Amino acid sequence: MLLGFLDHLREAIVLKVQGVPEPQVRTAGVPSGTSLLGLLKHLAHVERFVVLGEDTPDWAATFRPKPGESVEGLVAAYHEAIAEADRAVAVCPDLGLPAAPRRGGATSMRWALVHMIEETGRHAGHADILREQIDGVTGR
């Protein structure tokens, strides 16, 4: 059930960036500098940090796609992070066991999944607003 909810939100994020032309997909829609492509890039890093234990030394940079990073490339990177995270969940025999060790200490796999649902859902809401500002598309 947890992965089902998370997968629904993951798909919503990908759908929000698809079909948005350059430069709008990477243009900040709010004063904080948040863009659709930046949200996608950030969430790939969050999957790798929370579930896989990979360190991210500069969280602010995860929100800023580099000039050479494309929608296709960042969607592929997000899908790869998801696949690796899902494999880690699949081999975990009990969600009460620790997820991968990470900075700040290991958490349970259950906590990691619930956190990913919260984080992805929060950013999916941001993506909804940014996409509506760009071309009026609303909903999933």
Closest by Cα among 86, 106, 84, 111 to 96? 111
- Split the chain (140 residues) into runs of 10 and give each run's mean pLDDT: 97 97 96 97 97 94 96 98 98 94 83 98 97 90
To the nearest 10 degrees (0 to 180), the angle between helices 36-50 and 109-135 is: 180
3 burial level (CB within 10 Å; 0-12, 13-18, 19+)? middle
Residues 37, 53: Cα–Cα separation, whole Å: 23
pTM over cut 0.85: yes
Residue 139: the pLDDT is: 76
Residues 6+ positions from 70 with CB-CB distance below 8 Å: none
Residue 106: the pLDDT is: 79
Contact status, residue 69 vs residue 34, Cβ threshold 8 Å:
no
Residue 133: the pLDDT is: 96
Closest by Cα among 65, 86, 70 to 10? 86
In CATH, 2-135 is 1.20.120.450: yes
Residue 31: the pLDDT is: 95
